[in-house]
Amino acid sequence: MTIFSKIIAGEIPSYKVAEDDAYYAFLDINPVAKGHVLVAPKKEEDYLFDLDDDTLAGMALFSKRVATAIRKAIPCKRVGVTVIGLEVPHAHIHLIPITKEADMLFTQPKKKFEPEEFKAIAAAIAANFE
């Protein structure tokens, strides 16, 4: 079981922002920006492009809804999209609120938030999820 499957199963806590039958969205615990969200399929698959077509297509549509909620909740110009997947072997998409290109950089120092701040950020995004 991957760490993300444990999060999805509720065995490890997360700051959830959205969920449906097939996907789970939650705050990245080591964010490059305020409102940095990860979207993962509930189905366990390591590499994003090994997902079956329906799961991958559905993930894009679910991510669109999450990105729309992020943009309403967090001041930003756009929501950037990144796939890395070198650390956690469970497919996921990074959704990152940005106002400039440098906001996307994973090499910058990560942002630090207190648990209460993470909770408030997740709640603000969740409240805008449709």
58 vs 85, which CB is nearer to ligand AMP? Answer: 85
DSSP assignment string, 66-86:
HHHHHHHHS--SEEEEE---S
103 makes contact with ligand AMP (CB under 6 A): no
Size of the site for ligand AMP (CB under 6 A): 12
95 vs 130, which CB is nearer to ligand AMP? Answer: 95
CB of 83 to ligand AMP, least distance (A): 7
Q: Is 36 known to be catalytic?
A: no
Contact present, 45 and 54 (Cβ < 8 Å)? no
For 22, the 3-state DSSP assignment is coil
- In the complex, residue closest to ligand AMP by CB: 30
Contact present, 14 and 31 (Cβ < 8 Å)? no
Q: Which helix (H) or strand (E) covers residue 26, if one does?
A: strand 23-27
Write the interaction track for ligand AMP spanning residues 20-59; mark x where CB under 6 A is met and - where it is not: --------xxx-------x---------------------
| Rounded Cα distance, 62 and 76, in Å | 20
- Binding residues (CB under 6 A) for ligand AMP: these are 3, 12, 14, 28-30, 38, 84-88
List the catalytic residues. Answer: 92
